[in-house]
Amino acid sequence: MANKTPQIPSIAELMDKIKSGKIFSDIAKEITESQLWTSSFRHGYADTPRNRVLQIASNVWLHLHPVKMHRHALRIKFTWCMGGITFLLFLSTVVTGVILMFYYRPVGEYAYYDLKYLQYDVPFGMLMRNMHRWAAHAMVITVWLHMFRVFLTGSYKPPREFNWVIGVFLVTFTLLLSFTGYLLPWDQLAMWAVTVGTNMARATPFLGNEGPFAEFVGVTPRYDARSLLIGGSLVGPPALLRFYVLHCIFIPLIAGALMIVHFWRIRKDGGISGPL
């Protein structure tokens, strides 16, 4: 290529190419052989076994998958696709959640009115909020169903015990994510649901001011397990800020990290379980 001096094609030649349609394949060739293209896309698209492997192995998003898998693991009847759906719903909440964060301030005076503004004045604000909330609720259900299917197929049995334990952490964090998010609209529903929920911490044995044996530890309403959680003795602005940080940073990071470990372990444990 390099030693060929570029030639300007004659008009007739060019017309020929256009008429025959060859011009398109020529242009496609120019593009797909350019440095820009070959450096971005590292393999062709031809449906060869080699390319099927490369599709997975050379793509950072797809490479959590194995390259090959057992036929039985493809059946929707077996996995119900529930783990994957849970993950997809998690990703949906991440995307819509970040959009909500542009409009939301976790401050007692603003939070509720930011939501009103979001719903009535921000283009697609209501839709983003709805998608975030419904995806979160749906995720709670799908993660339970996923766990149920894993139990029914006995997939927690060796060698997958550890991945089941990670899964229990994941279901716990999923609930905590949902619960911390519940407070953020800062409406009546939010405040009282979280009040009911966090009141339980008050009854923690030893560490809650109304819990059994608290008198031997000396905790007070202002200084116990519950006040650690909500930054005070009732659900007020400090609780809002605490839950916001937990909801937007702390728990998603941990849950995300655990999910990656979860997926990695599926492969290291020999892929989706199946009859031996």
Query: Other C-beta atoms within 10 Å of 189: how many?
Result: 11
> Site for another protein (CB under 8 A): which residue of 23, 122, 140, 254?
140
97 binds ligand HEM (CB under 6 A): no
177 binds ligand HEM (CB under 6 A): no
Per CB under 8 A, the segment of 1-9, 10-18, 23-31, 175-183 that binds another protein is 175-183
Find the binder of ligand HEM among 129, 132, 160, 242 (CB under 6 A).
Answer: 160
Per DSSP, the three-state class of 220 is strand
Can you tell me the distance from the alpha carbon of 222 to that of 206, in angstroms, rounded to the nearest whole number?
15
Helix H or strand E encompassing 169: helix 161-183
**Residue placing its CB nearer to ligand HEM in the complex, 50 or 267:** 267
Q: Which 56-85 residues touch ligand HEM, going by CB under 6 A?
A: 79, 81-84
As to burial, measured by CB atoms within 10 angstroms (0-12 exposed, 13-18 middle, 19+ buried), residue 70 is: middle
Q: Pick between residue 109 and residue 161 the one whose CB is nearest to ligand HEM.
A: 161
Q: Could you say whether residue 208 binds ligand HEM (CB under 6 A)?
A: no
Q: Residue 226 binds which entry of ligand HEM, another protein, none, with Cβ cut-offs from 5 to 8 Å by kind?
A: none
CA distance 209 to 232: 13
Q: What is the DSSP code (8-state) at residue 19?
A: H
Q: Does residue 196 belong to the site contacting another protein (CB under 8 A)?
A: yes
> In this structure, which long-range contacts are made by residues 80-83, counting pairs with CB atoms below 8 Å and at least 24 apart in sequence?
80/145, 80/146, 80/149, 82/142, 82/143, 82/145, 82/146, 82/149, 83/146
- x-or-dash pattern for ligand HEM, window 226-265, by CB under 6 A? ---------------------------------x--x---
Task: Give the nearer residue to ligand HEM in terms of CB position, either 174 or 198.
Answer: 174
